Amino acid sequence: MNSNIFLSCFMVMVALHQVLPAQQIAQWRGPDRSGVYPDTGLLKSWPAGGPVMLWSATGAGKGHSSVVVYDKQVYVTGMKDSTDYLSAFDLNGKLLWQVPFGPSWRNSFPDTRCTPTVENDQIYLVSGSGTVGCYSTKDGSTLWQFDGIKRYDGKFGEWGVCESLLILDEKLFYTPGGPNTTVVALDKNTGQTIWTSESLADTSAYVSPLLVRWGNNRIVVTLLSNYLVGVDADNGKIHWKFKYSALSPEAGYKIWPGAPQTNAITPLFRDGNLYITGGYNHVGAMFRLTEDGTGLQQAWTDTTLDCHHGGVVEIDGAIYGSGWLDNARGNWCSVDWKTGKPNYSEKWFTKGSIISADGKLYCYEEKNGNLGLVKANPSKFELISTFRIPLGKGPHWSHPSIFGGILYIRHGDAVMAYDLREKN
C-alpha cells in the first residue's frame, strides 16, 4: 500500500476513535450517572461565540431529555401531540428514523423527560405515562413493551413519570412505586419480571436510579417521594430505607410545603458515601454505608445546595450545583464532600443543570440558555467562557451531555452538537 494512502487511512481511524470511544452503555448523565464524562483533550476556553457548532437539527419533538450517543447514532426523545417519540440521528445530524414509544404525560409539564438507555442493539425507555419498552437501534422497532403502571399498580407524583432506566447484566430496573412494590427488575431481553421488591407504600418521584457497588453487594439506589432506598440488585431485598421527607432543616429554616415529596436528583456515591439533595429549601444530606452496604448512617446535612432538578457533580472533594431560591431563581453553589460546609453560593444568571468533563464544569442556566465553562474551584464560581444557546424554545431544562469530545445540547425541539476537541 502507498505510504500516503496508509497514513490517510490511519488518520481516519484515529479520528473515528476520538469521536466514538469504546463504551458499554450510553445513559443518563454519563457512564456511571455521576454527571462526570470521561472525555479529555477538551478546549480549555471558548471563543466569544462558543465552540464550533457542527450541526443542528429540529423535529425531535418537545422535551427535556438529554442526548445520548452510541455506535455512530445520536438518540433523543420528544413529544408530538400527546405521544412520546424516540429519534435517531447520524453523527452529522441527519434523521435516520423516528418512532412512537408510548403516551406522554398529559397534565402539567408534559414534554418528554426520559433519556434513552442504550446497550448493544437495544434501547430502553419509559414514557411520561409509564409505558416501559425496548426498541431496536436499527430502526426503532418494538422488541417488547408493556404498561408499567397497570402491570405493577404503580403510583407517581403530579408531574408523571421521569425515570431513565438502569441496566446491570441481564436486568433492567424500573421504579413503579405504589402499594405492591417499590423497584422491579426485568429481563432486559423479554421484559418479563425477574423480581419485585417489597412496597414502601410510596409513590415514585422524578429520579433516575444509581447502581452502587459496595462490600460484596450491588445496590440499586433511588429516591421516592418520601424514601431514600437501597435495593439488592440480585434479589430485590430492601437493605435500607431512610425517610428523607421527614428530615427537618435547621430550626427556623422555612421549607416549601411540597419540597419533601419533590425529588429529582440522582444521588452521588463515592467510597462508601452517598449524597442526596432536593430543591425548594429542603436539605441535602450525606450518608455513610456500612462495610457490607446493607445499612447506612446519616453523616451531615446542608441547607445551601438544595438542587431543584439540574443535577450535581463531585470533583476533588467538592460538590457543585445550583441551589433553589424560588422556581425562577437560584445560585451556583459548592459544598465540601466530607463535612457539608458551604464553599460558596454565587449568582450567575439563575439555576440550571451541571455536568463535568476534563476537570471543568459545564453550567447551563435554565432561563436564557447561557452555557458557562467554569473552573472546578471550591473557593469561588470562576467563569472561564460563556455563550448562549441559539436554537429551541421553552425552558432550558435538558442536561448537556458529552460523547467523543462533542457537546450535545437539547432545547425543546432542537438538538445541537458542538466540537469541544482541542486542536493539535
> How high is the pLDDT of residue 330?
97
Distance CA 323, CA 247 (A): 18
Cell reading at 182: 417499590
Check residue 370 and give its pLDDT. Answer: 98
Burial zone of 317 (CB within 10 Å; 0-12 exposed, 13-18 middle, 19+ buried): exposed
68-204 topology per CATH? Lipocalin (2.40.128)
Give, as one character, the DSSP assignment of residue 165: -
**Range 362-366, long-range pairs (CB < 8 A, 24+ positions):** 362/400, 362/402, 362/407, 363/322, 363/332, 364/310, 364/389, 364/396, 364/399, 364/400, 364/409, 365/396, 366/310, 366/395, 366/396, 366/397
- What pLDDT does residue 4 have? 43
Q: Note the pLDDT of residue 8.
A: 39
pLDDT score for 251: 57
Q: In the chain, where are the structural domains located?
A: 68-204
pLDDT tens readout for residues 150-180: 999 999 988 999 999 999 999 999 999 999 9
Please count the helices (runs of H) and the strands (runs of E) in the chain. Answer: 2, 35
Say what the pLDDT of residue 173 is. 98
Structure confidence by residue, pLDDT tens digits, 275-289: 999 999 899 999 999
Residue stretches of the chain with pLDDT short of 70 = 1-23, 249-254
Length of the chain, in residues: 424
| 8 Å CB contact between 316 and 334 | no
Q: What is the pLDDT of residue 1?
A: 43
pLDDT at site 248: 72
Question: What is the predicted pLDDT for the residue at 21?
Answer: 43
> Structure pTM?
0.93
Local structure of residue 398 (DSSP, 8 states) = S
383-393 residues labelled b (16+ CB within 10 A) or e (exposed): eebbbebebbe
Q: What is the pLDDT of residue 12?
A: 35
- Per-residue pLDDT of 246-283, as tens digits, reads 887 665 666 777 777 789 999 999 999 999 999 998 99
Per-residue pLDDT, 259: 75
